[in-house]
A = this chain, B = another copy of it.
Amino acid sequence: MSKIKITVWNEYRHERHNEEVKAIYPDGIHMAIANYLNTQEDMEATTAVLDEPEHGLTEEVLEQTDVLLWWGHLAHNEVSDEVVERVRQKVLDGMGLIVLHSGHNSKIFEALMGTNTGALKWRDDGEKERIWVIEPGHPIAKGLGEYIEIPKEEMYGERFEIPAPDELIFISWFEGGEVFRSGCCYKRGQGNIFYFRPGHETFPVYHQPEVLQVISNSVRWAAKSERVKVTYGRVAPLEPVH
Contacts and interface: CB of A to CB of B under 8 A. Distances in A.
Interface of A: 88-89, 92, 94, 111-116, 119-123, 125-128, 130, 132-139, 141-146, 155, 157-159, 161, 163-164, 166-168, 171-179, 181, 186-192, 225-239, 241-242
16 contacts: A94-B137, A121-B232, A121-B234, A121-B235, A126-B241, A133-B228, A134-B159, A136-B229, A137-B227, A138-B187, A164-B187, A167-B187, A175-B239, A175-B241, A177-B237, A178-B235
Contacts of A167: 164, 166, 187
A43 B226 CA distance: 20
Given A145-B228, A188-B163, A237 B176 contact: yes
Nearest to A89: B116
Given A175-B242, A177-B130, A189-B137, A123 B163 contact: no
B175 A237 contact: yes
A162 B237 CA distance: 23
Nearest to A1: B1
Contacts of A144: 228
Given A130-B177, A159-B146, A137 B239 contact: no
Copies of the polypeptide in the assembly: 4
B189 A132 contact: no
Contacts of A126: 241
A190 B171 CA distance: 17
Given A168-B164, A177-B173, A158 B142 contact: no
A92 B111 contact: no
Contacts of A173: 173-174, 177-179
B122 A233 contact: yes
Nearest to A141: B228
Contacts of A113: 114
Contact of A171 (B171, B176, B227, B234): B171
B179 A179 contact: yes
Contacts of A114: 88, 111-114, 188
Contacts of A179: 132, 171-173, 179
